[in-house]
Amino acid sequence: MKRQPLAQRLISLLLLFALLLPIIPLSVMSSTNAAPDEPAADNELFLPVVMNPLPPIIPDTTEVLTDDTTQHLVSVSADGATFTFAQSTPELAALDAGDVMVGGVSDAAPHGFLRQVSDVTTANGQVVVTTAAATLEDAIQQGEFSYAKRLTPADIEGMTTQLGVQLVQPATANIEDSFFFEINDVVLYDDDGDLGTTYDQLKVNGSLELAPDFSFDWRIEDWTLQELEFVFNTQEIAELEFQVEVDLLSAELRYELARLHLGTITVFVGPVPIVFLIEMPIYLRADGDVSVGITTTVTQEANLSAGLRYEQGNWSPIASLTNDFGWEPPTLSAGVDLKGYIDPPLSLLLYGVTGPFAGVNPYLKLEADIFADPWWELFAGIEATVGVKVEVLGHSLGEH
């Protein structure tokens, strides 16, 4: 008997497999030798789920100015509307009214720019582009990005601190790559405004250690922002001593200990650069009623998160807190209802204008009355402020 050629045998096997395929189950049962009253175990076959990134679609009306053009940018007006270039380039020649003009970081535009072109004129060899506000929805038909970063002292590009506040590198830090501040005789309140008179002040001493990080994700489809999530996390260790030498009723005190300028970050959606300016001021706050003669110390270790999520037209908050705290019994002459907390809000400013922001404030509240039993009580909690200013993000969102 003649044997079939190899190719013919392969074709026959493939046809047989194709006939049997519709009746092969996607789950493989255990051996049929199992007892009749014993349920057979399923060994299910799970097919992998592959998530493809959303491919960017950038319309022809979006003009990205590269370094070849932005190197000739001479100035940007104070209101951000007028751009003056020393000479023309092919990219400038391609600009038309109604286009969206986008650029990354440059000497004259250190935070980049995203603007809609109103007019382009040439005078004395210079090109003047007059613009109006634009949004990412104007510049991107479809695209997404996801970015996360841990902030460390190495990111600092500039910093201001108040008298008595110093950023140091301790010999032994509790958190790796953290911001560690020493706080020495910081006057949170001075009744007569004269720092030389110390009998009418609320003072703070101690230390603060912070390790912040954030994540920011969004997705645009059909010119509309579909999803957005911004989460700010921080690990905090604080030890603060409050010395009160003044009577205060319904006080709301806010003192900026430091302001950190943490540079810019550029991410790309296709060819479009998206530039974030990161800023983090650090406030010490105290609210409530306090009486003269109080001295007390608070210690706290906290891990906390705050953020916002936008999906399918709905906003939802994100918040969590774990903390370990203590408060030395106060020495006092009358009573106190004092809430003290550190407030390190983080802002991401798109193109240096607006964007998402979040503040997470773990607080400790002391209520004390020498005539009550127990004469003092301590409460802990978290206050979170999160939001998105959407002038640059898109027209489809309101401010939240």
Please write the tens of the pLDDT for every residue from 48-76. 444 457 899 999 999 999 999 999 999 99
134 falls in which pLDDT band (50, 70, 90)? very high
- Cβ atoms of 368 and 332 closer than 8 Å: yes
pLDDT at 79 over 70: yes
Of residues 308 and 333, more confidence is placed in: 308
Mean pLDDT of 279-287: 77
CA distance from start to end of the chain: 83
- Percent pLDDT > 70 in the chain is 64
Distance CA 230, CA 309 (A): 7
Residue 24 has a pLDDT of: 35
Residue 285 has a pLDDT of: 67
The backbone region for 110, taken as left when phi is positive above 0, alpha when psi lies in -120 to 50, beta otherwise, is: alpha
pLDDT at 180 over 80: yes
- Cβ atoms of 145 and 269 closer than 8 Å: yes
What pLDDT digit, counting tens, does each position of 84-110 carry? 999 999 999 999 999 999 999 999 999
- CATH number for 62-134: choose from 2.60.120, 2.40.30, 2.40.50, 2.60.40: 2.40.30
Mean pLDDT of 116-140: 95
Residue corresponding to tokens 């399918």 = 312
Residue 65 has a pLDDT of: 98
Nearest to 128 by CA among 200, 72, 188: 72
pLDDT at 280 over 80: yes
Residues of the chain with CATH 2.40.30: 62-134
Distance CA 122, CA 124 (A): 7
Residue 71 has a pLDDT of: 97
pLDDT at 18 over 70: no
pLDDT at 10 over 60: no
Nearest to 367 by CA among 293, 291, 301: 291
Mean pLDDT of 260-271: 93
CB burial of 133-169 (b: ≥16 within 10 Å; e: otherwise) equals ebbbbbbbbbbbbeeeeebeeebeeeeeebeebebee
Of residues 196 and 122, more confidence is placed in: 122
Residue 293 has a pLDDT of: 54
pTM over 0.75: no
247 falls in which pLDDT band (50, 70, 90)? low
Distance CA 129, CA 116 (A): 10
Residue 391 has a pLDDT of: 54
What pLDDT digit, counting tens, does each position of 110-120 carry? 999 999 999 99
What pLDDT digit, counting tens, does each position of 331-365 carry? 554 444 455 556 667 777 888 776 666 555 545 45
Q: Which residues are CB-neighbours of 245 under 8 A, at least 6 positions away?
A: 198, 199, 200, 201, 202, 203, 292, 293
Pairing of strands 62-65, 100-103: parallel
pLDDT at 237 over 70: yes
Distance CA 166, CA 20 (A): 76
